[in-house]
Amino acid sequence: MIEAKEVNKFFGDHHVLKNISCTFEKGKTNLIIGQSGSGKTVLMKCLVGLYEVDSGMISYDGRNFSEMNFEQRKNLRQEIGMLFQGSALFDYMTVEENVMFPLNMFSKQTKQEKLNRVNFVLERVNLDNINHMKPSELSGGMRKRVAIARAISMKPEYLFCDEPNSGLDPQTSGVIDQLIKEITVEYGIITIVNTHDMNSVLSIGDNVAFIYNGELWWRGNKETILHTSNKELNEFVFGTELTSRLKQ
Amino acid sequence: MDLKVISLTGDYVMLMRRVFTKPQKGRIFWQRLLDEIQGLGIESIGIVAFISAFMGAVVAIQTAYNIDNPFIPLTMVGWTTRQSIILEFSPTIISLILAGKVGSRIASEIGTMRVTEQIDALEIMGVNSANYLIFPKVVALLLINPVLIVLSMWMGILGGWMAMGATGLSTTTDYVTGIRIDFQVYIVFYALLKTLFFAFIIATISGFYGYKTNGGALEVGQASTKAVVLSSILIIVFNLILTQLLLT
């Protein structure tokens, strides 16, 4: 379980995260939702240590992440996989080199073993025969899938996905969502997904946390979110033409 | 303003503490080092050779035209060209040119990696991104810049000789005799020592500005410009300091 306890984060005078406490469960897709600028990306970056929290505590299965030194964090991070909004694939490497990179850095496997693992994870994300292509030659959806393959190549315990559907068409978004869901269940990992895509919420939202103006405003799941009386959440969920018509 | 300079210097020192650590994986470091030598050094050979040859030619022609006293021997053309090229042109001016070519490349490459979250991806994997990205560039420039500067010296002197041959302002015998008059190996040592300082300045300042880039494409351009400007200023300042220390 990943736990955030009374987390606060400031940027200058701006109080971005206000006393956020929540837990993220194993084997489930935990979604953080909220409007742009609500603080969900900051929360995710605090969880993985890209931002330091100003107060509060973050723990990974009882290990206090906030008090870890650089070396301890480095070791823990080998258990973390992350899918970035823009995929963050290394431009100068091929797909194969990108996926193999964490294995090259941290594993003691032979080259053949590493290659087998790369091919296995690429197959797992339904990508074949693209090993020698550069990221610039791939479509947005393929890049996301390569980034997922890289994120799971080291068999992580924790998977973070920052807006995995941004810039993708609805159909491809659905494929990515299902992939994330399947990997979470298959490997029994803790997955945290940062999104404002309601399709994702309704299809993979085992646990949903709604962040509003830096505060944890509501918690529930894909079933309860449709029946909530929370005003701000309703405005967010049914804020589009399509969803508001569906509600009617 | 003073506080900003102190803060910037502090950030630079803190980053360098992360850069100058033992690489996490030796094999990957050597691979990156070779790539950097190719990208930063070998690919600069053409421009260095071209500029040096033409500058050597210009120095020789100007010297020859300005010797109108019959008591000054024409061997002075070779001597002056040699001294100008070895003492100042090759180590300082070529380093300034490399600050523009190589420095902007380093800053924009690392800056782009920062704004596309590739550096965050490295950190999440548990990689010391500062060491992984900047250290091979520093070592590569320290190794390849002296080679480029020696090449520049040869090309400059060769350019002068070719100009003399083409214009008939001095004979080959006079020019070569001039080159050999009162030659002290120490001036080459002095030039190469300066080169090492300048290579360190170019790599670390450009790496620093690239690594600290925050924002988007505009900020990458700004970081690149700042890196070139500050590297050039520091090269000029250290040129004066080192000349005072080494030649007096």
CA of A105: which chain B residue's CA is closest?
Answer: B25
Q: What's A171-196 look like in SS3?
A: HHHHHHHHHHHHHHHHHCCEEEEEEC
**B120 vs A: CB within 8 A:** yes
- CB contact, 8 Å: A50 with chain B? yes
Instruction: List the single residue in B with minimal CA-CA distance to A106.
Output: B25
Q: Percentage of residues in chain B with pLDDT exceeding 70? A: 100
Q: Does B31 touch chain A (CB under 8 A)?
A: no
Distance CA B157, CA B164 (A): 11
Distance from CA of A92 to the nearest CA of B (A): 10
State the pLDDT confidence band at B67, using cuts at 50, 70 and 90: confident
Between CA B57 and CA B6 the distance in angstroms is 44
ipTM field:
0.88
- CA B133 vs CA A1, B96, B119: distances in Å: 33, 23, 9
Could A102 and B121 be called an inter-chain contact, meaning their C-beta atoms sit closer than 8 Å? no
- Sort out which chain A residues have CB atoms less than 8 A from B28's CB and list them: 104-105
Q: Answer whether B74's CB lies under 8 Å from B120's CB.
A: no
Average pLDDT, chain B: 94
Question: Which chain B residues contact residue A90 at CB under 8 A?
Answer: 113, 118, 121
In this structure, the strands spanning A207-212 and A29-33 are: parallel
B8-30 b/e (C-beta count within 10 Å ≥ 16 → b)? eeeebeebbeebeeebeeeebbe
Q: Convert the pLDDT of each residue in B136-192 to its tens digit.
A: 999 999 999 999 999 999 999 999 999 999 999 999 999 999 999 999 999 999 999
In this model, does residue B86 exceed pLDDT 80? Answer: yes
- Mark yes or no for CB contact A86/B125 under 8 Å: no
Contact A77 B128 (CB under 8 A): no
pLDDT-based confidence at B18, cuts 50/70/90? very high
> Taking phi first (over 0 means left), then psi (-120 to 50 degrees means alpha), and beta for anything else, what does residue B185 get?
alpha
**Chain A residues close to B121, C-beta within 8 Å:** 82, 84, 88, 90
Beta-bridge partners for B222? none
In this complex, the residue of A74, A78, A84 whose CB is nearest that of residue B120 is A84
Rounded to the nearest angstrom, the minimum Cα separation between A215 and chain B is 25
Tell me whether A73 touches chain B (CB under 8 Å).
yes
The answer to whether A63 contacts chain B (CB < 8 Å) is no
A89 touches chain B (CB under 8 A): yes
CA atoms within 13 A on the CB side of B50: 6
Domain that holds residue A50: 2-247
The answer to whether B200 and B145 are in contact (CB under 8 A) is no
Write down the domain spans for chain B: 24-247
**Which CATH number do you get for residue A39?**
3.40.50.300
> Would you call B28 an interface residue with chain A, using a CB distance cutoff of 8 Å?
yes
Cβ-Cβ contacts under 8 Å, A50 against chain B: 120, 123-124
Mark yes or no for CB contact A88/B118 under 8 Å: yes
Nearest to B125 among A50, A77, A160 (CB): A77
With H, G, I as helix, E, B as strand and everything else as coil, classify residue A93: coil
Q: Which of residues 19-48 of A touch B (CB under 8 A)?
A: 48
Query: From A159, which residue of chain B is nearest by alpha-carbon distance?
Result: B124
Q: Give the tens place of pLDDT for each residue, B191-234.
A: 999 999 999 999 999 999 999 999 899 999 999 999 999 999 99
Q: Which residues 65-104 in chain B show a CB within 8 A of chain A?
A: none
Q: CB B126 to CB A74 under 8 A?
A: yes
Q: What is the pLDDT of residue A97?
A: 95
Count of pairs with CB atoms under 8 A, one residue in A, one in B: 54
Q: How many domains does chain A have?
A: 1
Distances (CA, A) of A186 to A29, A155, A157, A179, B148: 12, 11, 12, 10, 55
Beta bridge partners of B43: none
pLDDT score recorded for residue A244: 75
- Cβ proximity of B64 and B81 under 8 Å: no
- pLDDT value of residue A172: 84
**Which region among A49-53, A167-171, B25-29, B42-46 has the lowest average model confidence (pLDDT)?**
A167-171
Which pTM was predicted?
Answer: 0.89
B31: nearest CA partner in chain A: A104
Q: Residues of chain A whose pLDDT is less than 50?
A: none
Arithmetic mean of pLDDT, B96-111: 96
pLDDT at A95: 96
pLDDT at B1 over 70: no
